[in-house]
Amino acid sequence: MEIDLSGKVALVTGGSRGLGREMVLGFARSGADVVIASRHLDRCEEVAEEVRKETGRRALPVACHVGRWDDLEQLTDAAYDEFGHVDVLVNNAGMAPVYPSLVEATEELFDKVVGVNLKGPFRLSALIGARMTAGEGGSMINVSSIGANHPQVHDIPYAAAKAGLNSMTLGLAVALGPKVRVNCVMVGPFLTDISKAWDVESFQAFANHHYPLGRLGLPHEVVGTALYLASDLSSFTTGAIVTVDGGVSVSPPFPTEG
């Protein structure tokens, strides 16, 4: 069964690369118009042009730092000014900088990590959610990480923020229901731009022997879950944390990244 999102508008933060870009393209290929948000407007414009050429769908690129609430208000206004509605919101933007030791983790790093991974999604969900509930409703998808349940020593603030995002998913499902469904995709290790900072060979060798599927994820492999949660196929699904990790979460702890 093909998923048809014709007439829908999907807004994806962190939509210019990695998992976000794949979800943008997946939504557009299924008939949705898209809003592509990230800090780098030029990258958003590149993906927008790719969407237009491949699918013929409308695409709006918007520069936005999700850790800044003023930027999120401008993003919301831009999306509604252009399309009049947003039907799918994907809180995908994230950052996971590491630090040499716990005591060397700076206040600036901590605040940035929490701001992008938790504070921003909360505010954008509130802004878009208010308009969704006043209109025809919609679907929200938060993108979390299995790090929320398996924190590594060099990214504890990131793991804590993602755990907060999981909890926030449940709270928003209650607060915005019944017109808005809110779910979360908790992803495992994917080969995206972020993975360039990993020791991929060691990671892959570990995966070969310990992960049920024996490998790391490819970015397009998140799209099916995102389309399901965005569409009416998941009409009775809200407050769910859906794990997309190749079985990592049922395996031995994964090695430290970096």
| Burial grade of 162 (CB within 10 A; 0-12, 13-18, 19 or more) | buried
Q: Is 144 a catalytic residue?
A: yes
pLDDT one digit per residue (tens) for the chain, 258 residues: 689 999 999 999 999 999 999 999 999 999 999 999 999 999 999 999 999 999 999 999 999 999 999 999 999 999 999 999 999 999 999 998 889 999 999 999 999 999 999 999 999 999 999 999 999 999 999 999 999 998 989 999 999 999 999 999 999 999 999 999 999 999 988 887 665 555 667 667 777 767 888 888 899 999 999 999 999 999 999 999 999 999 887 766 555 443
Q: Which pLDDT score is estimated for 46?
A: 98
Q: Which pLDDT score is estimated for 152?
A: 87
Name the catalytic one among 162, 211, 234, 251.
162
Name the catalytic one among 16, 125, 139, 144.
144
Query: What is each CA distance from 65 to 74, 114, 214, 216, 219, in whole angstroms?
Result: 10, 13, 36, 29, 22
Count the alpha carbons within 13 Å of 163 in the hemisphere toward its beta carbon: 12
Give the global pTM: 0.93
CATH of 9-250 given 3.40.50.720, 3.40.640.10, 3.30.2130.30, 3.40.190.10: 3.40.50.720
Name the catalytic one among 158, 211, 231, 251.
158
- Domain-by-domain residue ranges, the chain? 9-250
Q: Is 158 a catalytic residue?
A: yes
Q: Which pLDDT score is estimated for 41?
A: 97
Distance CA 94, CA 146 (A): 14
Q: Is 228 a catalytic residue?
A: no
